Amino acid sequence: MSECPVTLETSNSTTGPNPVLEKYESALLILLGFGGFSIILALIHNAIRKHIFHDEHSLDTTFDAGGDVSTSLTAVTVASQLFWPADILQSATITTKIGIAGPFWYSVSVILNIFIFPIFSVHFKTRAPGAKTYLQIIYARFGKKAHIVFCCFALLTNMVIMTALLLAGKSTIQSLTKDISDEYTLLIMATLFGSYSLIGGIGTTFYVSYFNACLIFISLMVFVVNVLHNSDSHLNNIGDAARMFNVVSCVKGPEENTGSSFLTFRSGVGILYGVIGFFVASAVTYCDQASWQSRIAAKPMQGVWGFFLAGFMWLAIPSTMATTTGIAYLAISSENSTHLLTSDQIDQGLVTPFIAEKILGPTGGILILTILSMALMSTGSGEVMAISSIIVYDIYQTYIKPFRQGLKKTHCILCGKHVRDSELDPPASEDPNTTSYDSTVCHCQSVSDCKQCAEDMYRRVARKSHGVHSPYRCTIHGPYRTYQNYLIEFKNWCIVWVTVCIIPFGLLVFAIGIDLNWIFYVGAIVTIPCFPAVILSIVWVKATSRGLISGGITGLLIGVAAMLGAASTYEGGLHNFLLNTSQDYSILAGTCCSFGFSLITCMIVSVFTHKIKTDADADAEWKKMFDIDNPLHPWEMNLRKELKQQIYNKKPSSDQIAAAFRQAKITAYVGGSICITLVTFIIPGIMATFPVLDETKFEIWVGLTQAWAVIMGVVAIVAPPVEEIVKIRKQYIENKKHVTEYPI
């Protein structure tokens, strides 16, 4: 180097990643390659659910994959879906601006949410084991007004996330494909998102997420080898960790970093990104129905361990990816003391595609397009399923066409009569000829013991082979089965129309001109007010409808006002809207106020409006969540293995559920506390002891991230198929022991 330190000048060049594919090549690769592959996975998943688990005809299976997803498959799905396409691009963007501190503190903020979530998910699964959306809990506890408000918040969150996905997909696809239009790009993405969701439901998303994780880890190793272990690299400043250190250590970093170095973890702006990242990740984790949908598909214990594994699995990806591609970009840019990309191109997330193409040529571009396509499939299909589940469960089934109009919360959906609480009411005789028989109390037989249902299913299976559908004759469950079949048809059309709507929505987003960086951070401000309400509805018995509504709206209004106020202090004020509203302190003010005022208002208003006076009141409040169920597929049937030591009539009590999953709750609290302490205090504390990394410490850090990525990659690739095969084999053996000609 001619001088040290080197200050990188802003580039005015329009150069960027060179397109390496024709339009038809991109379409073939994405649609026939990944789309076709995902459809095959969907058909395999459907065959497994039909021939092994016998629940392919269930509406709930579409949205919870049977409710018994394995630990490792949960882990790779959580890690894969949290590792957005935006993250693949954004982590490198942060590195080019801040250095190694950026992705480190950002990773800490995201992984903190992953480790906190098991505590809330175990409450969700034990207090509302039959719920398929978090909005069902809000409806059960707080009624229509709160439900409508938070349906709006939920759909707004889905729109924000979908916007980020479309922008990430557009920037990558168009940067690597020649002369491709916005409409063509959106058509490809919409087809990719909706195709296999329609066939296999969320269960296929788990399978696709597995292959997505495998592909990311393998591609990550390709980048690591070519950037850090390639002495024959055609680029002078990369190929060896020591060589990259010598170059990047001479590049002047942000003033907020210790020593103005890119190679330090002591970064004020890095910590600022971490705080902002925590709120962004919270908005994604707790306010997005897709997050809950994927995470509550496992049983409590599997879900808890799955989250812990997912956190460490996720940590391996952005820390290694950002260090590799981001530092490589700085090293290459230092040759001419000028950024090779413009500020706009960096904010669009083009650092990773640019470096991939620089290092590997056209193959690198195809590799990045492959990673992004898989990530888009995994996350995009999750959003399609999330929006569809809200429309089906929380809008159509609740308000537009409910099975039984005006049904009271304590009454049976099948017969409309009062459901006897087995814990409080004495059992009544089910013989109408006896004096103890109560005609106002529900006596509906459980679907698992219903002979009429068994005969119905036998007839339908027999006639279906001849192309004829037999009507249901069961007087108890038959009408509701017909209704569920109708909802399944509606669900299919819902997925189709949600997929179709992606195209005009995407065109509107592209026309507005927002970039990935803006929606990634500003979007959190309008969604984070939902976070406190969702969590309080699950864990706090004294939360009220007024508290949640006032908290959500107050947080939204004050958060947006705080963001605009902070943005107005920058040069150009609100006239330079997109730039100044995405400035660091604008986002910090907006997210902190949105979350803080929402939480405080929720709690204060709830304290003054709740009606919980006794333990009996609290039990009655929690029972509203406990009673959420599908009478054709009761949650009790899915948990019979865990409840085999409990004695109950039709449904276990809340105390019995709590006792059965006490170990899962303890594991969530203890394991979560240990993991949070490790990633929030111990590891950052160790990293902060080094003012600026010297060559040895840099090589140790790079070596540790690579080793961890290899370990987690092996776990991600090997564990899920092993667990899945074992589970399928166990169910197959169980089926042979209890041979049935047809499912109930």
Q: Is 419 helix (H, G, I), strand (E, B) or coil?
A: coil
The H-assigned helical ranges of 334-472 are: 343-347, 351-360, 362-389, 451-464
For residue 144, how many C-alpha atoms fall within 13 Å in the half-sphere facing its CB? 5
Residue 467: its pLDDT value, please? 46
Residue 493 tokens, joined: 């059309």
Q: How far apart are CA 397 and CA 383, in angstroms?
A: 20
Interatomic CA distance for residues 682 and 664, integer angstroms: 25
Helix (H, G, I), strand (E, B) or coil at 631: coil
Extract the tokens encoding 587. 């986002």
Which class is 23-134+162-398+672-737 in CATH? Answer: mainly alpha
Contact between 671 and 308 under an 8 Å Cβ cutoff? The reply is yes
Smallest Cα–Cα separation from 274: which of 250, 256, 286? 256
Q: Distance (Å, rounded) from C-alpha 167 to C-alpha 173?
A: 10
Q: CA nearest 110: which of 665, 703, 679, 708? A: 679
Q: Under 8 Å CB-to-CB from 573, ≥6 apart: which residues?
A: 567, 580
Cα angle at 214 between 382 and 200, to 5 degrees? 35
d(CA 212, CA 206): 10
∠688-694-700 over CA atoms, to 5°?
A: 75
Contact 130, 634 (CB under 8 A): yes
* SS3 assignment for 527-574: HCCHHHHHHHHHHCCCCCHHHHHHHHHHHHHHHHHHHHHHHCCCCCHH
Distance CA 58, CA 62 (A): 7
3 state DSSP class of 588: helix
- Please give the structure tokens belonging to residue 304: 């808890």
Residue 55's alpha-carbon distances to 65, 115, 361, 742, in angstroms, are 9, 32, 47, 11
According to DSSP, residue 267 is labeled B
Task: Report which of 629, 628, 632 is spatially closest to residue 472, judged by C-alpha positions.
Answer: 632
Tell me the angle at which helices 134-176 and 362-389 cross, rounded to the nearest 10 degrees: 160
Instruction: Give the span between the Cα atoms of 229 and 398, in whole angstroms.
Output: 58
User: Coil, strand, or helix at residue 609?
Assistant: helix
How far apart CA 525 and CA 531 sit, in angstroms, is 11
Contact 699, 241 (CB under 8 A): yes
In this structure, are residues 574 and 568 in contact, taking their beta carbons and an 8 Å threshold? Answer: yes
Q: What gap in Å lies between CA 114 and CA 286, rounded to an integer?
A: 10
pLDDT reported for residue 203 = 64
Query: 3-state SS of the chain: helix, strand, coil percent to 5?
Result: 70, 0, 25
Bridge partners of 261, per DSSP, are 252
CA atoms within 13 A on the CB side of 545: 13
Q: What is the 3-state secondary structure (H, E, C) of 64-110?
A: HCCCCCCHHHHHHHHHHHHCCHHHHHHHHHHHHHHCCHHHHHHHHHH
Give first-to-last CA distance, the chain, whole Å: 74
Quote the pLDDT of residue 475: 87
Cα–Cα dist 134/625, whole Å: 10
CA distance 359 to 214: 22
Phi-psi group of 703: left, alpha or beta (phi > 0 → left; psi -120 to 50 → alpha; rest → beta): alpha
**Quick one: tokens of 178?**
């020649």
- Give the type of residue at 274: G
d(CA 176, CA 170): 10
Contacts of 549 (CB under 8 A, 6+ apart): 145, 146, 149
Q: Is 219 helix (H, G, I), strand (E, B) or coil?
A: helix
b/e for 559-573, b at 16 or more Cβ within 10 A? Answer: bbebbbebbeeeeee
Residue 626: partners with Cβ closer than 8 Å, 6 or more residues away: 127, 128, 129, 654, 657
pLDDT of the residue at 425: 46
For residue 742, what pLDDT is reported? 46
E strand or H helix that includes residue 163: helix 134-176
Residue listed under structure tokens 């660091």: 584
CB 100 within 8 A of CB 664: no
Under a CB-based contact definition with an 8 Å cutoff, are residues 499 and 193 in contact? yes
Residue pair 223/325 in contact by the 8 Å Cβ criterion: yes
Distances (CA, A) of 146 to 25, 93, 297, 326, 498: 48, 39, 25, 44, 24
In the predicted model, residues of the chain with pLDDT beneath 50 are: 1-2, 422-429, 435, 465-467, 740-744
List the one residue out of 17, 308, 394 whose CA is nearest residue 177: 17
Question: Given this model, what pLDDT does residue 600 score?
Answer: 96
- The identity of residue 599, as a single letter, is L
Tokens of 150: 């938070």
For residue 169, give the amino acid letter: G
CA-nearest of 251, 267, 217 to 104 is 267
Q: What is the pLDDT of residue 591?
A: 92
Cα 464 versus chain centre, distance? 37
pTM: 0.84
Per-residue CA distances from 65 to 49, 90, 608 (Å): 9, 31, 41
Ranges of each domain in the chain: 23-134+162-398+672-737
